[in-house]
């Protein structure tokens, strides 16, 4: 493998490349296929031996995932930038909900490395993806905590079917010869087993009967600069979350109506735009509402203004 590497001073942070959602599944020899993790995207930056873990919107994750931080300090090379995902397992599959329990109880976490952006004194972003992965596998010290993300070139459909049969997220298809770009691109595509994405919490309804805390969360997304209502989510919460999160919602209540369209619901309360939730659902309706939505977890790695309806395409 011959690489035409360019020497470059190491940046403090590199924004991640993001995948585009698609339903036009395909399997092509010019693409590779990886498991799609249900975790937190993480850019690992080690500069002169000082390691920092960053979320995709540049928040530091060092304190929350200190064991992963320490594992990266054991690398021989002291200058690198690696793209990957922090995960926790629920049985055989990764679980974002499980990952949310890290601060409350001792949950074992792992880092899956899937791309190399900088190493030693060289910029790798202009190299082919397949070469970046090969160099990553050969030059990073892997362990129980730090794991390499394998890929396949043929039989991508088998990987997708396996992921879905286990209850997983799906797979990521990546163009093998593509460069790394810090934006959403069609060189990386998401094949999802079910519909899931982030939504902004814009309010809540009062609880009814024996329900505590709140009845349902009101959620929305941005369409350019307009905040649109996507519906209410009344399932997926446990007792502890209903109790604790309702207290947080009451603290950020506002008399300001957050959206222009009329909401045909009683006993609703609007809140300041502070929280983002990941929601699973069966499909979108023609008027951009969700069918059968279910709460998965809160997300702290997605800026409010970046929460939009995921568009499908190849």
Q: Which domains are present in the chain?
A: 15-192 (3.30.470.30), 195-306 (2.40.50.140)
% of the chain residues with pLDDT over 90: 78
Count Cβ atoms below 10 Å from residue 152 Cβ, excluding itself: 14
CA dist., res. 271 & res. 5, Å (int): 50
Is the CB of residue 152 less than 8 Å from the CB of residue 29? no
Is the CB of residue 295 less than 8 Å from the CB of residue 279? yes
185, 188, 193, 198 alpha-carbon torsion, rounded to 10°: -40
Q: Which residue has the tokens 């990073």?
A: 140
Q: In terms of C-beta density within 10 A (0-12 exposed, 13-18 middle, 19 or more buried), how is residue 147 classed?
A: middle
CA dist., res. 53 & res. 69, Å (int): 7
Q: If you count DSSP H runs as helices and E runs as strands, how many of each does the chain have, helices first? A: 5, 22
Could you list the mean pLDDT of each consecutive 10-residue stretch along the chain, which spans 314 residues? 87 97 88 96 97 96 96 94 97 90 88 98 97 97 96 88 88 97 96 91 94 96 95 94 96 92 90 96 91 92 91 63
Q: What is the pLDDT of residues 227-250, one digit of tens each?
A: 999 999 999 999 999 999 999 999
Tokens read off for 297 = 């977890």
Instruction: Could you list the beta-strand ranges (E) of 214-284.
Output: 217-223, 226-233, 253-254, 268-271, 276-281, 283-284
Phi, psi of 61 (to 5 degrees): -115, 10
Q: What is the pLDDT of residues 63-119, one digit of tens each?
A: 999 999 999 999 999 999 999 999 999 998 999 988 988 877 889 999 999 999 999
Determine how β-strand 89-90 pairs with β-strand 80-87: unpaired
Is the CB of residue 104 less than 8 Å from the CB of residue 97? no
Nearest to 101 by CA among 117, 90, 111, 115: 90
- Length reported for the chain: 314
| CA dist 144 → 70, 259, 271 (Å) | 13, 47, 42
CA dist., res. 273 & res. 288, Å (int): 20
Question: What's the confidence (pLDDT) of residue 253?
Answer: 97
Query: Across all residues in the chain, what is the average pLDDT?
Result: 93
């Amino acid at each position: 493998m011959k690489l035409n590497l360019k020497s470059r001073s190491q940046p403090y942070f590199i924004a991640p490349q993001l995948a585009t959602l698609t339903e036009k599944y395909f399997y092509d020899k010019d693409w590779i296929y990886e498991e799609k993790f249900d975790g937190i995207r993480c850019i690992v930056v080690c500069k002169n031996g000082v390691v920092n873990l960053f979320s995709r919107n540049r928040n530091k994750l060092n304190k929350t995932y200190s064991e992963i931080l320490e594992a990266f300090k054991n690398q021989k090379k002291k200058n690198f930038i690696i793209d990957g995902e922090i995960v926790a397992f629920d049985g055989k599959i990764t679980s974002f909900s499980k990952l949310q329990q890290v601060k409350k109880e001792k949950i074992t976490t792992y880092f899956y490395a899937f791309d190399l952006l900088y190493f030693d004194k060289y910029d790798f972003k202009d190299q082919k993806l397949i070469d970046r992965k090969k160099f990553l596998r050969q030059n990073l010290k892997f362990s129980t905590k730090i794991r390499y993300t394998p890929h396949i070139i043929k039989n991508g459909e088998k990987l997708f079917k396996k992921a879905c049969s286990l209850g997983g997220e799906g797979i990521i298809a990546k163009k093998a010869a593509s460069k790394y770009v810090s934006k959403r691109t069609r060189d990386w595509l998401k094949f999802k087993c079910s519909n899931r994405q982030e939504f902004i919490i814009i309010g809540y309804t009062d609880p009814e009967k024996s329900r505590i805390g709140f009845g349902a969360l009101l959620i929305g997304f941005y369409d350019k600069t307009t905040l649109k209502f996507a519906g209410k989510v009344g399932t997926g919460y446990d007792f502890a979350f209903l109790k604790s999160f309702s207290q947080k919602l009451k603290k950020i209540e506002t008399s300001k109506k957050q959206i222009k369209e009329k909401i045909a619901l009683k006993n609703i309360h609007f809140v300041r735009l502070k929280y983002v939730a990941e929601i699973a659902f069966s499909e979108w309706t023609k008027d951009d509402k969700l069918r059968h939505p279910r709460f998965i977890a809160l997300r702290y790695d997605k800026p409010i203004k970046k929460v939009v309806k995921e568009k499908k395409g190849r």
